[in-house]
Structure 1
């Protein structure tokens, strides 16, 4: 059976809240633990719930970019969506508050409606990806972990190297949990990695020609995988192969930062 992956951050948030709501748990704590697949109070639970808060933040940001009429219609539900995620005024372990009362059907319906609207408006972007090449993106992440692990001493500041490694590991974690957090979180995190790699290219010393070549080829491969996942457009690969347009300019910037590929 093919894994179903939520398309936008709003879809991801909606499906998680529905999981809590339908869990049958006797309190919020149990409902959230069931929905997130992590033990209450564990580091993994904290990590996953923090990611849910990130889905909410992205949903709010995207709604605020809609035309005024649509923005006004959905922004009035921000407090309800936020309250559903954090429940600031009640004890999560209160047996008198079963998971079923976490959120109302009306609030869920408006969140689902906003999600569908955002998908239509943002289709083919990192906020509503159209691609399906998760394995290609995963392979590119593993290739970058190898490149970073094999970096000669002094080629890149260690702190920057460790930061990028952590970003890529987080992206792999999101890919592993795609059915929970959705495609948009993966696409936006991959865009963040692209930016980090481009920035790091400007401080790479280029003293080791082999490393410079791996860096450039790895960067272009990651840009390809990231863009294909976001846009679903096969012409991205053609553009990179042909060295045309903006892709060519990106390649030139990376090459100038890393030295000539060997």
Structure 2
């Protein structure tokens, strides 16, 4: 199912993403009204067992799918997914957009920007951490058919948060480099909102992104002035 050999590093990476999907699903179900939350939470242990397989050997290649998880358990999981998709449409839990290429291109641009940013402008450890997050986001985009688009949206939000924090730590950046950061941040915000809420939200995304960039710029200026 994961299209990776059991025991390999790639299997571990992919299985970790499945576990993350389960964690997010449980979290989202807790946001539902009480009656629905109570109904679906009864199946948390079965879903966890299906993902983790604590009672069966992972090395047994002869296990039929019916042994791993029953049809009833799958049906309830699918029902919960349908409900969450309807209730949270247009959010990070159920993105409405379909074009991931713009988001991927923005990620590739950010990797170039980070590579061009010197250690004196941004600590190397922070650059490496953000670079790893963006590389992982690109990996999720490439495997969206396997893990779904909700993981892409969630990881994009984390990257945006990391870039926002990093923007407040930039030092000694000239006007050209600072402008490049602002434009790239606006581009990522726009691509993220369009992907999450759909193409009809382009103008809203641009306005929201511009507002965020202005706020970040004010914070950066405030930090710089305080240091001086």
User: What TM-score, normalized to structure 2?
Assistant: 0.91
Residue in 2 aligned with 1:126? 92
Give, in angstroms, the shift of residue 98 of structure 1. 3.0
Query: In structure 1, what is the equivalent of residue 226 of structure 2?
Result: none
CA deviation after TM superposition for structure 1 residue 91, in Å: 1.9
1:213 counterpart residue number? 179
Q: 1:55 aligns with which of 21, 30, 34?
A: 21
Measured in 2, the distance between the counterparts of 1:206 and 1:258 equals 11
Q: Which runs of 5+ in 1 are unaligned?
A: 1-34
> What do the CA deviations read for 1:26-85 (whole angstroms, capped 9, x no partner)?
xxxxxxxxx111111110010000100000000000011100000000000000000001
CA contact (8 A) 1:204 1:257 kept: no
For residues 95-174 of structure 1, the aligned pairs below 5 Å read 97-174=63-140
Q: Where in structure 2 are there 5+ consecutive unaligned residues?
A: 222-228
1: CA distance, partners of 2:123 / 2:66: 50
- Which residue in 2 is equivalent to 1:256? 218
1:83 matched to 2:45: no
CA RMSD for the aligned pairs? 1.7
Pick closer, same or farther for the CA change 1:220–1:70 going to 2, 3 Å.
same
How many Å apart are 1:94 and its aligned residue? 4.1
Q: Write the distance in 1 (CA, Å) between the matches of 2:203 and 2:73.
A: 42
Please name the residue that 1:189 is paired with: 155
Aligned-residue offset at 1:93 = 3.0
- Which structure carries more relative contact order (alpha carbon 8 Å, separation 6+)? 1
In the TM superposition, what whole-angstrom CA distance separates every residue of 1:199-237 from its partner, at most 9, and x where no partner exists? 111111143222111101000000000111111143334
CA contact (8 A) 2:103 2:191 kept: yes
Give the whole-Å Cα distance in 2 for the aligned partners of 1:229 and 1:176.
Answer: 15
Q: Is contact 1:81-1:107 (8 Å) kept?
A: yes
Partner-residue secondary structure (3-state), 2:55? coil
Name the SS for the 1:36 alignment partner: coil
Q: Distance in 2 between matches of 1:254 and 1:236?
A: 21
Give distance in 1, aligned partners of 2:101 and 2:56: 42
**Secondary structure at 2:5 match in 1:** coil
Q: How does 1:197-208 map to 2 (within 5 A)?
A: 197-208=163-174
Determine the C-alpha separation between the residues in 2 that align with 1:235 and 1:97.
46
SS at match of 1:92: coil
- Cα drift, residue 92 of structure 1: 2.3
Structure 2 CA distance for partners of 1:258 and 1:215, relative to 1, 3 Å: farther
Match of 1:93 in 2: 59
Q: Is the 8 A contact 2:6 2:58 kept in 1?
A: no
